């Protein structure tokens, strides 16, 4: 079966050399026959190992960030707005330009699908994974199931070969089923351990 060429968000980052902006860039994607296997992993094996379902997150020293249509979540209050150099319309916050959280969403038109269902979410995540894989920038790539605010999510995870920077991205939909939401977190291990639980535990579609 012939595979169509996919220009994913991560591929764009690789082309422009903007590793600090991975997860950015709005591009329409056609339906693709390549679907990367999304395997279930235990929480101790996935990038979500630091979060427990019964943990009460402390919002002291945190700020809510977000944008209508992209969703809202909490990050440390010393993080600042970040503008991607490629001019994309993602919503981003950063600490020192290295640790970055990105919010974005895809419509049916963006994904070239008739409806936003779980298959559309899976294919968007698979395309993202394929972009990371084909860029040859990342290693230790994994694709697993996770949760964001109680919603099933496809999680893509990898590390940058050159400096060990970690990228973790989540793809999911809400009850409205009119968008596929993307949240990505990239940075050092310490930041991931600190911020990841807040992404998975505090994301909301509206304020």
Does CATH number 3.40.1000.10 belong to domain 9-202?
yes
Strand pairing report for 180-187 and 99-106: antiparallel
pLDDT by residue (tens digit) across 59-69?
999 999 999 99
pLDDT at 84: 74
Radius of gyration for the chain, computed over Cα atoms and rounded to the nearest angstrom: 16
As a whole number of angstroms, the distance between CA 89 and CA 95 comes to: 19
pLDDT by residue (tens digit) across 81-93?
998 776 578 999 9
Helix axes 9-16, 118-135, angle to 10 degrees: 30
- For 52, list phi and psi in degrees, rounded to 5: -120, 145
Q: What does the CA dihedral 207, 113, 84, 101 come to, rounded to 10 degrees?
A: 50
Structure tokens at 114: 């008739």
pLDDT by residue (tens digit) across 106-155?
999 999 999 999 999 999 999 999 999 999 999 999 999 999 999 999 99
Looking at residue 115, the DSSP 8-state letter turns out to be S
Sequence spans of domains, the chain: 9-202
DSSP assignment of 8-54: -HHHHHHHHT-GGGTT---------S---------TTTSTTTT--TT
Structure tokens at 38: 């999304």
């Amino acid at each position: 079966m012939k595979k169509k060429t996919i220009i994913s968000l991560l591929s764009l980052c690789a082309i422009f050399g903007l590793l600090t902006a991975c997860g950015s860039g709005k591009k329409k994607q056609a339906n693709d026959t390549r679907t990367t296997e999304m395997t279930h992993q235990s929480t101790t094996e996935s990038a979500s190992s630091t979060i427990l379902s019964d943990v009460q997150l402390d919002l002291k020293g945190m700020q809510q960030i977000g944008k209508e249509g992209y969703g809202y979540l909490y990050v440390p209050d010393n993080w600042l707005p970040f503008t991607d150099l490629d001019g994309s319309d993602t919503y981003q916050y950063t600490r020192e330009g290295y640790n970055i959280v990105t919010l974005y969403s895809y419509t049916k038109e963006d994904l070239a699908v008739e409806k936003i269902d779980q298959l559309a979410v899976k294919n968007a995540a698979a395309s993202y994974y394929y972009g990371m894989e084909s860029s040859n920038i990342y290693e230790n790539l994994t694709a697993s199931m996770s949760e964001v605010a109680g919603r099933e999510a496809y999680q893509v995870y990898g590390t940058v070969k050159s400096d060990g920077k970690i990228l973790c991205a989540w793809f999911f939909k809400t009850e409205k089923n009119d968008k596929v939401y993307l949240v990505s977190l990239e940075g050092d291990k310490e930041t991931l351990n600190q911020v990841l639980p807040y992404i998975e535990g505090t994301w909301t579609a509206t304020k």
